[in-house]
Amino acid sequence: MKRCYCLFIFLLLSKALLAQQATLSEREYALKYKKAVQLYASQQYIEAQNELTPLTHRKYNNAMVPYAHFYHALCSFKQNKFFESRVYLRQLFERYPDWDKIDEAYYLYANASFSDNNIDEGMQYVNRITAPIFKKDLDNMLYYHFSKVSDRTQLKLLNQKFPNNPIIAQLLVDNIQKSKNVNKEDLELSDRLTNRFSLGENANSAKKNAAKRENKGVVNVAILLPFRLNDFDPAKANRTNQYIYDLYAGMKLAKSKLESEQINVNLLTFDIDRDANSISSIVDESQFSQVDLLIGPLYPEANKIANNYAKSNDVIQVHPLSNNQQLITNEKNTFLASPSFETQAAKALEYVKNQSIGRTVAIYFGNTRKDSTFAYAYRDKAISAGIEVITIKKFLNAEDIDTRRRPSHVFVSGSEETFGGKIISALDKKKINSPIIATSSAFDFEGASLNIFNRDLYLIKLDYVNRDKEEVKNFRSIYFNEQNIAPSFYSYWGYDILLFYGRMLHTGKNYLRTHLNAIEYTQGYTLDGFDYTNGSNENQIVPIIKYQDGKFVEVMR
């Protein structure tokens, strides 16, 4: 008996030990979670669920667990497994009732309920959503589902059950007004509802357009860039706006790639330059009412009109080249594809901290406004990080180098290709050999002596292309076959931007913020990818490179 008891204890301990070993570390969990979300983004829903299922186990309780539940439910929803989707969402509600994205989970639950014709349950979860920003999304969802009800008696019953819902009221009014056989009682009901909810044809059309945009399964993209077609000369090899054509060529290849992933994208191109008049008439065109995403424009006056349109119509806007943080201040649906100077500075200082370089900095900048703006952004971030700024000044010659104290590192912001070389010569002359963080635009990569780069020099290079990367090799080959020319950085960039936002918006704008917060998307892109986590509306990936072993390599992103 004693022997059996010992064997029983041994088996229990063995089982506990195996369970403990099966538990993933936080790093392992994060890697599996990221893999799952990437699979979801590629519409491999079953494969994503295989990765997510163990991550929803109750033994885990980190910040990613509620996201794992949500994405598992979303995968089920995408496969029309609405009951299964609701099961995983109920587990999420039970375990994380105070999750900061709970309204998005309620929205998904309501959508799954309506899709299964559980109207009462769906409305119950609609009423749980408190965030005002969901108002339009909820109207779109309700319109989409209830517009399938064509029987007037059924609509009347819905109106009686949910008398305060304006979408049901609008659909009932539409049904009555379009009918040829209508009695006096129904006409009076139509008038009462119209007066109570201030219903009208314009409001109805807006709801229809919004609902179509959310549910049509096609992503319509308006490209608002300065093509300058009136000045276009095909014989010219070096156009001042050649980068625009390179961007667009990359986007066209991304469209083909997205189609191979069963994501349909329409590209609507508009020649928008500095003049605001060029866009004023366009936004009133009927095809614009179906736009989901605006890319551009590049100039301020035209952007005012585009941005107003995007806000009024709940459309996503992406600035493909600007890094002006003011463009996204207090803007829910506007994004920077490139990181701002503030973010670049923060990332560079993070690298400095990780390398234990020291706690002081000297900052030198060039002649342009961009140079000084970046320099002062770096100063502000340095001070916030507890780093002492010894000096910050415009550099003209070697006498501008501050020699009173040797800084732990030097930050250089310049736009002219010769600027970096002049700074390094001046620092050498003053016998200051501190590590340097610099903008890549301050250096001539083609003509400069490699001796400049063979020192403790780190470059912030947003246009870095790793030619050894498999995605780069594949893209380069396809692009050359299409264009008979090698791609520029802008070709890669246009490809990545459309590929990323096409994937994000294909699953619906309602979940865009959750997708962006989920992970940084670095796999499957030619360049470094996109990171909009923690509620950011600007891409937070900042490539920092260094010359070593005969080539430039990325040391941080």
Q: Which of 168, 170, 146 is nearest to 159 (CA)?
A: 168
- Is the backbone of residue 2 left (phi > 0), alpha (psi -120 to 50) or beta? alpha
User: HEC states along 71-131?
Assistant: HHHHHHHHCCCHHHHHHHHHHHHHHCCCCCCHHHHHHHHHHHHHHCCCHHHHHHHHCCCCC
The string of pLDDT tens digits covering residues 353-391 is 999 898 999 999 999 999 999 999 999 999 999 999 999
Q: Which helix (H) or strand (E) holds 551?
A: strand 551-556
For residue 145, the tally of other CB atoms under 10 A from its CB is 20
Confidence of residue 79 (pLDDT cuts 50, 70, 90): very high
Whether residue 391 contacts residue 402, with contact meaning beta carbons closer than 8 Å, is answered with: yes
| E strands in 293-425 | 293-295, 316-319, 334-336, 360-365, 388-394, 409-413
Residue 511: the pLDDT is: 87
Name residues whose C-beta falls within 8 Å of residue 458's C-beta, 6 or more positions apart in sequence: 348, 351, 435, 436, 437, 438, 544, 545, 546, 555
Residue 508: the pLDDT is: 79
Q: Lowest-confidence range among 188-197, 250-259, 394-403?
A: 188-197
Please name the residue that has the structure tokens 């959310």: 214
The string of pLDDT tens digits covering residues 325-346 is 999 999 999 999 999 999 999 9
Residue 447: the pLDDT is: 80
Q: Lowest-confidence range among 152-161, 198-207, 407-416, 475-484?
A: 198-207
For the ranges 191-195, 346-350, 547-551, the one whose mean pLDDT is highest: 346-350
Instruction: Tell me if residue 341 falls in helix, strand or coil.
Output: helix
Name residues whose C-beta falls within 8 Å of residue 126's C-beta, 6 or more positions apart in sequence: 106, 110, 138, 142
Q: Which of 285, 282, 287 is nearest to 267 (CA)?
A: 287
Q: Which helix (H) or strand (E) holds 270?
A: strand 264-271
Domains of the chain: 217-336 (3.40.50.2300), 341-460 (3.40.50.2300)
Indicate the pairing of strand 409-413 with strand 388-394.
Answer: unpaired
Whether residue 81 contacts residue 103, with contact meaning beta carbons closer than 8 Å, is answered with: no
Whether residue 480 contacts residue 239, with contact meaning beta carbons closer than 8 Å, is answered with: no
Please name the residue that has the structure tokens 């501190």: 434
Q: Which two tokens stand for residue 510?
A: 């309602």
Q: How far is CA 55 from CA 71, 170, 249, 476, in A?
A: 11, 43, 40, 38
Q: Which of 531, 542, 468, 475 is nearest to 504 (CA)?
A: 531
Whether residue 320 contacts residue 272, with contact meaning beta carbons closer than 8 Å, is answered with: no
The string of pLDDT tens digits covering residues 94-114 is 999 999 999 999 999 999 999
Can you say how many angstroms the Cα of residue 542 is from the centroid of all Cα atoms in its chain? 15
When the pLDDT of each residue in the chain is averaged and rounded to a whole number, the result is 89
**CA dist., res. 552 & res. 461, Å (int):** 11
Burial 350-367 (b: 16+ CB within 10 A, else e): ebbeeeebbebbbbbbbe
The string of pLDDT tens digits covering residues 519-546 is 999 999 999 999 999 999 999 999 999 9
* Mean pLDDT of the region 197-211: 56
The side-by-side arrangement of strands in the sheet containing 293-295 is: 264-271, 218-225, 293-295, 316-319, 334-336
Write out the DSSP string of 135-188: HHHHHHHHHHHHTT---HHHHHHHHHHSTT-HHHHHHHHHHHHH-SS--HHHHH
With 80 as the cut, is the pLDDT of residue 211 above it? no
Residue 433: the pLDDT is: 93
**CA dist., res. 492 & res. 526, Å (int):** 6
With 50 as the cut, is the pLDDT of residue 396 above it? yes
* Angle, alpha carbons 520-474-478 (nearest 5°): 120
